[in-house]
Every structure is written in structure tokens, then in C-alpha cells.
Chain A
């Protein structure tokens, strides 16, 4: 009798505990590195990234029942991580220089297109850049802009997936991406000039 009750209580997702654990292992554990990379690029700190990833996986396990099998595990996890990040860092604000929400909000109020910034950046200068320069350019973008570039270009999420991860309309995904790319090009252009890639 006891065994039957146990099984029912754990059976929210229609699986017993062993099956749940196996599913969790199979679908989520392979995503550790992607999530860590994302967490690291958000926080720019190894310890904070580690804390975020741990928190995300623990939450994911705890709320595994609300995850629908066969749906997008990666997007689900990224969403949890992003929300944890926002909650944790809004509370802490221990390193405001790394995450400046005022800066981010200012950018959000103006979605105008800066065409002239990118006018004289050249494709060949861009292709010659090395990893460190590109990483620095990315890391010095305001957090929400680098987030969207990471999600789109590094992790290959679709607009719809990004819309769900970030809790923003698809139109905002597109405009933010456009703005982020212009800002990134601006940074690359200034490195290219400083480093003498183009005269």
C-alpha cells in the first residue's frame, strides 16, 4: 500500500523517480557548459557564474514537474538562469560597475538606428581580429545587449525562443538585437582603429 502512495505522490510528470532522474540526467546535464558560458558572460566572474549555474540546476530539479518533456530544455534552463541572474544581481548590486541597470535602461529608451557609426568599419578589419579583442568588445556591452548577442549568435536560439527566455515580445527581440549589433560594431571599429587594423 505504501509503495503505491509513494509512486502517486512523485508521479506529477507521469514518471516515477528513477525515470525522472534519468530524464533529468539525459536532457539537462549535457547543457552545463552552455549554461556556464552564459552565466560567465553575464556576470564576468567565475564564482558568480558557478553560483548561478548551481542555483539554476537546483531550481530546475525542484521544478522539474513543470517542465514539459520534449519541449525546449535548453530554452527552459536559460530562462531560469536569466531570471535568477536578474533577481540575484538586483538584490546584491555588490559590483555595480559590472552590471549597470541605469545604463541599460537608458539604452532601452532609444531604439534609434545609428547608421553612421558603422560606416567606415571594414569587413577585412573585422575578420582579422583575434578572440581576445572580440571577447572584450562583447563583454563591455551593457548586459542586456551582450545577452541577446550570446543567445542569438553563440547559442543559436530563434527569435521566438529568445522572446520566451527574456520575457519580451519578438519585436523587442529584433530591435534589441539590431541595437546590440550596432553597438558591437562601434566597439570593434574603435579597436580596429586603435590597433591599426585600418588607417
Chain B
């Protein structure tokens, strides 16, 4: 379990906007390994960033797991394929 030294638990992170940027880049897998490591280290000592990151991560996972991808109805797929066949024959 993570332990936060009490004297470092502040409500405002000193590196706020930079942290927000890093957080998002890391969440979306766009960060370099060293940037990611630095940020993860930062999370060990910064409660607001730790919470923010975990919330954003939970929301992203929510979208990924709970949104059902709507499929195109079979009959419309057939219709599309039929239309494409017609165009192919024209050329």
C-alpha cells in the first residue's frame, strides 16, 4: 500500500499544469518510459495527482468496458455491399 508522508500531503500540487499534461500523456500511452517513471514517482508523494490520475484511469476504463460498440444492422451491411458491387462494375 502506498504511504503518504503527512508533511507532503498538500491540497495543491506545485507542478499542477505540468502534472496535468504528463498525466494525460501517460494515461494515453504517449509518454516516454522515463517520463512515465518520473510521474509515477511523483504520484508516490503527491496525493492530489495520485487521486486525479486514478480517477481519470477509472473513467477511461469505464468508457472502454461499459460502452457497447453498436454494430451495423445485417441488412444494411448487405445493402452497402450491394451498392459497392454496383459501383465496382461501373468502373
Contacts and interface: CB of A to CB of B under 8 A. Distances in A.
Interface stretch (A68-76, A81-89, A123-131): A123-131
Most buried by A among B61, B71, B76, B83: B76
Interface residues of B, number: 36
B1 interface: no
Contacts of A53: 72, 76, 80
B34 to A, nearest CB: 19
A154 B55 contact: no
A197 interface: no
A138 B21 contact: no
- Interface secondary structure of B, over-half rule: helix
B70 A37 contact: yes
B88 interface: yes
B67 to A, nearest CB: 6
Contacts of B83: 54, 58
B67 A131 contact: yes
Contact of B67 (A17, A54, A138): A138
Given A37-B69, A123-B54, A152-B28, A21 B62 contact: no
Interface of B: 17, 20-21, 24-25, 28, 30, 52, 54-56, 58-64, 66-73, 76-77, 79-81, 83-84, 87-88, 91
A21 B88 CA distance: 8
A50 interface: yes
Nearest to A122: B55
B25 to A, nearest CB: 8
Contacts of B28: 152, 158-159, 177
B19 to A, nearest CB: 11
Interface string A57-95: 110011000000000000000000000000000000000
A6 B76 CA distance: 33
A50 B91 contact: no
A99 interface: no
A32 B24 contact: no
A118 interface: yes
